[in-house]
């Protein structure tokens, strides 16, 4: 099996590292096409083959991952379309680029539109994907490739890609924003900056780990930490008073609206 990645930027490299870890065997081949030759060194250290020519990369490929900027997707697709093998699956990670456009530019129905996130760089991406591929084996292959960078969730409509963008695509930034503000608030009340940072990061890590347990209920657990009259209850009261729930809802809707508009 041959997997070709077109684009050796951050996401292209994340896919290359994930695929390199998860796919093994003498009949497996991975190649990255990147025009900037200086970036080839990062892949050579992993013994991954590189090229500066997209057509060389897609030659005899079973899977092609489009990891180029959205503005470059159309031309890239048109350039490689007549060189794609018949059953080659193309996986696009370009934000806002609709499936219908990808299928037209590639002259192929074997196309999946995906939305990974930046956590792919550590193998922890939450990736949602949608396709109209009828061949079940090809769909299984798409899932396996996406699972090389984290978890993969197939959705039933393309619109759900835009919805998921507002949650998991943008989500890491929301978490880091809240971390940033918690650290600053800790310093403001007198904690050493390094202590405030360590307490915040460890708290997020521990809470996230616990939340992954089967049957975890965030409301139930929050109430366990926030008994009546306690410090946590006071903090939650301020959140409610300032309508943090409404702010989060408004923010998610704004991100979703923008994600919808990217492809128009």
- Indicate whether 152 pLDDT > 60: yes
Counting residues of the chain whose pLDDT is more than 70, the rounded percentage is 98
Integer Cα distance of 133 and 201 in angstroms: 41
Topology of 171-262 in CATH?
ProC C-terminal domain-like fold (1.10.3730)
pLDDT for res 134:
93
- The 3-state DSSP class for residue 182 equals helix
Integer Cα distance of 166 and 254 in angstroms: 8
- Indicate whether 25 pLDDT > 70: no
Work out the end-to-end distance of the chain between its first and last CA atoms, rounded to an integer number of angstroms: 36
Q: Parallel, antiparallel, or unpaired for β 125-131 and 63-66?
A: unpaired
pLDDT for res 132:
96
Mean pLDDT of 175-180: 98
Q: How confident is the model at residue 50 (pLDDT cuts 50, 70, 90)?
A: very high
- Indicate whether 137 pLDDT > 60: yes
Q: How confident is the model at residue 227 (pLDDT cuts 50, 70, 90)?
A: confident
Mean pLDDT across the chain, nearest whole number?
93
Mean pLDDT of 42-65: 92
- Indicate whether 260 pLDDT > 90: no
Which DSSP string do the residues of 82-100 spell out, in sequence order? TTS-TT-EEEE--TT--HH
Query: Which part of the chain has CATH 1.10.3730.10?
Result: 171-262
Query: Which part of the chain has CATH 3.40.50.720?
Result: 2-156
Superfamily of domain 2-156: NAD(P)-binding Rossmann-like Domain (3.40.50.720)
Closest CA to 129 of 96, 164, 104: 164
Q: What is the pLDDT of residues 201-226, one digit of tens each?
A: 999 999 999 999 989 999 999 999 98
Integer Cα distance of 73 and 92 in angstroms: 9
């Amino acid at each position: 099996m041959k997997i070709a990645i077109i684009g050796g930027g951050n996401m292209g490299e994340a896919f290359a590292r994930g695929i390199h870890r998860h796919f093994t065997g003498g009949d497996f081949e991975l190649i990255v096409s990147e025009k900037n030759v200086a970036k080839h060194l990062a892949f050579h250290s992993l013994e991954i083959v590189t090229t500066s020519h997209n057509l060389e990369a897609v030659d005899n490929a079973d899977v092609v991952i489009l990891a180029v900027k959205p503005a470059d997707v159309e031309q890239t697709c048109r350039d490689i379309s007549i060189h794609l093998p018949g059953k080659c699956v193309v996986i696009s990670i370009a934000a806002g680029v609709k499936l219908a456009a990808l299928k037209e530019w590639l002259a192929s129905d074997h196309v999946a539109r995906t939305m990974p996130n930046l956590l792919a760089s550590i193998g922890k991406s939450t990736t949602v994907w949608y396709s109209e591929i009828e061949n079940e084996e090809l769909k299984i292959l798409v899932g396996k490739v996406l699972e090389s960078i984290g978890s993969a969730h197939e959705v039933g409509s393309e619109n759900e890609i835009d919805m998921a963008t507002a949650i998991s695509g943008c989500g890491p930034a929301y978490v880091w924003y809240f971390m940033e503000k918690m650290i600053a608030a800790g310093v403001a009340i007198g904690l050493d900056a390094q202590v405030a940072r360590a307490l915040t990061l460890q708290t997020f890590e521990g809470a996230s780990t616990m939340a992954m347990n089967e049957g975890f209920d965030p409301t139930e657990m929050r109430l366990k930490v926030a008994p009546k009259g306690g410090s946590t209850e006071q903090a939650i009261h301020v959140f409610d008073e300032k309508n943090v729930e409404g702010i989060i809802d408004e923010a998610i809707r704004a991100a979703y609206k923008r994600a919808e508009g990217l492809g128009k």
